[in-house]
Structure 1
Amino acid sequence: MIKSLLISSIPIPSASVILQTSVCSAGVKLKIEMTSSRSTLPMPFDWAGFLQKQIQEGKKLAQMMNMESNAFEDLERDKRRYEEALRILGNRSTTVFTLVLLPERLPIEETHSAIKGLRKLNIPVQALVENQCILPEVIEGNRFLASRAKLQARYMEEIDTRFGDLVRLRLPLLDRDVSDLSTLRKVGEMLYGE
């Protein structure tokens, strides 16, 4: 049985990442937090390939300059750690990768791009959380909310169509930020129950 730990759930106006990971019998926890916007961080990035290239080129340079080649041990250690993290993230029996998005055009496109990129790294995305969904009971004659809810409904339908193979959960638009532990617990209860 997988014991999941919710690491991060911060609503932002573009795709963000929630990582749930199991706690193994040895008590090892993997903590990874990612927040991405296409304009700020290309995701994902082949860090292992980049490090390998730096190590190879650095060793050649060190050899040409008659320097010690053990100066690259830190890079090699980082590369091994990165590869181990990818192995853990790609293990469906211990890790669930969940993307959070708003039911809007740009977050849908960013989510699609993130899923494709993560797939290239053999990291399966298994679920989506649609955040800040406007519920019918809060509209009550508010034309702005009614209009936004109608637009969201169209995007929610698109999300269902484009990402139909993933588990999809919906969170309502809250009247406060999810910025403290008690509110985060409430969000966890909304998503996963008690």
Structure 2
Amino acid sequence: MLLAPSPYLACRLSLAASRHLSSWQPPLPFTRSPPTLVVRRTLRVRSIATPAEATAGFDEMAAGTERKYYMLGGKGGVGKTSCAASLAVKFANNGHPTLVVSTDPAHSLSDSFAQDLSGGTLVPVDGPDSPLFALEINPEKAREEFRSASQRSGGTGVKDFMDSMGLGMLAEQLGELKLGELLDTPPPGLDEAIAISKVMQFVEAQQYSMFSRIVFDTAPTGHTLRLLSLPDFLDASIGKIMKLRQKLASAASAIKSVFGQEGPRQDATDKLEQLRERMIKVRELFRDTESTEFIIVTIPTVMAISESSRLCSSLRKENVPVKRLIVNQILPPSASDCKFCAMKRKDQMRALEMIQNDSELMSLKQIQAPLVDVEIRGVPALRFMGEIVWK
């Protein structure tokens, strides 16, 4: 069923049907006689909702050249990936070398950019004015690599794999503690551990130093909360491993001293302490109000708003700074006799009222993003979305 836009709210645009749609421009405001650009093949797109009523404060988000991290998350299916990708394109077009990272196993980022980003390496995105790179973390591929590594002879496979994630020190410690069997199968939370290891690389590796903005497209709510709480969990776990190793080392030292052998080396413990310090850095990064912000994305339904409220509460318990709430896919008032449109709009207004009365969400800066009747896919479409959402 096609929804007809009200005449005064409709907006038009023309897309040149070239391979990369490079000539596509944002829609022109509706006038009594709207101008039309004639090209060989065109596709007209109409917005069926008003642009965002509240502003995202993009000038504030783009201010400064120091490194900043933006994490977008929320319930599955609310448009997190489109919002994250459009923000990354907007940053790049405003002079910021930008990296956008997806920790969602659904590979939506590849679909959003209409580019294969699933290799687990940085991929340049064509189109924006400044460098824009994308990286899609593939948890299933990582799990397969983990399984195959654990089966290689000599026990070195797991360590090699952990080294590639920046967690080789932990594998070394587990090996020295004769706990290698813990690595025989992928442990729960491996997806989040891989994402955390990437964050470590973004913080420390020289190859990422060029990026002044890093945008994270996170997996649905439950995965996101595990991702944010994992540094605390690993910090505590590493602390326990260190205490256990110190006890074993003390016992070994006592035994060896009886037989006149030299004491144990402390290198391994030092390395584990270094890993612990890196995890503390990641935890501080998540909670740094100057360099990090979490943006909740939702849609105007009772279920989505309720989940967003719980997410906001959990984020605040983790001391993660959250200031903005995007309410996506909002319908305008219907100018026709469409009963479906009227009922849908009524339900959305009821959900928006929930936000105003919700103790967790009411203090957030609300961004109302329109529902559009075309799929947002490719850099030109993402540029268009960025212009109507990130103001």
Report if TM-score (shorter chain) is over 0.5. Answer: yes
Greater Cα offset, 44-53 or 86-95 = 86-95
Cα RMSD after superposing both structures? 3.7
For the pair 1:181 / 2:379, whether they are aligned, the reply is yes
Q: Secondary structure at the match of 1:35?
A: coil
Superposed, 1:80-99 pairs within 5 Å as 80-99=277-296
Give 2:389's aligned residue.
Answer: 191
More strand by percentage: 1
Superposed, 1:103-182 pairs within 5 Å as 103-137=300-334, 140-162=336-358, 163-182=361-380
Query: Which residue of 62, 66, 75 maps to 1:3?
Result: 62
Q: CA deviation at 1:52?
A: 2.2
Alignment coverage as a number of residue pairs: 188
Uncovered stretches (5+) of structure 2, i.e. residues with no partner: 1-59, 98-208, 253-263
Greater Cα offset, 148-157 or 180-189 = 180-189
Cα displacement string for residues 117-147 of structure 1 (whole angstroms, at most 9, x for unaligned residues): 111222121011100111124x622222221
d(CA) in 2 for partners of 1:111, 1:10: 6
For the pair 1:43 / 2:107, whether they are aligned, the reply is no
d(CA) in 1 for partners of 2:314, 2:237: 22
**Shift in CA distance, 54/72, structure 1 to aligned 2, threshold 3 Å:** farther
Uncovered stretches (5+) of structure 1, i.e. residues with no partner: none
Cα displacement string for residues 127-181 of structure 1 (whole angstroms, at most 9, x for unaligned residues): 11100111124x6222222211111110011112222211101111121333322
1:102 maps to a residue whose letter is I
d(CA) in 1 for partners of 2:339, 2:332: 14
d(CA) in 2 for partners of 1:58, 1:185: 48
d(CA) in 1 for partners of 2:272, 2:217: 23
d(CA) in 2 for partners of 1:136, 1:117: 34
TM-score by structure 1 length?
0.74
Structure number with larger C-alpha Rg: 2
Q: CA deviation at 1:12?
A: 4.2
2:231 maps to a residue whose letter is A
Say whether the 8 Å CA contact 2:329–2:369 is kept in structure 1: yes
d(CA) in 1 for partners of 2:243, 2:371: 55
Give 2:235's aligned residue.
Answer: 52
Give 2:77's aligned residue.
Answer: 13
1:43 maps to a residue whose letter is L
Higher RCO, 1 or 2 (CA under 8 Å, sep at least 6)? 2
What's the % identity of the aligned pairs? Answer: 20
Q: CA deviation at 1:82?
A: 4.2
Greater Cα offset, 145-154 or 173-182 = 173-182
TM-score by structure 2 length?
0.40
Q: Secondary structure at the match of 1:176?
A: coil
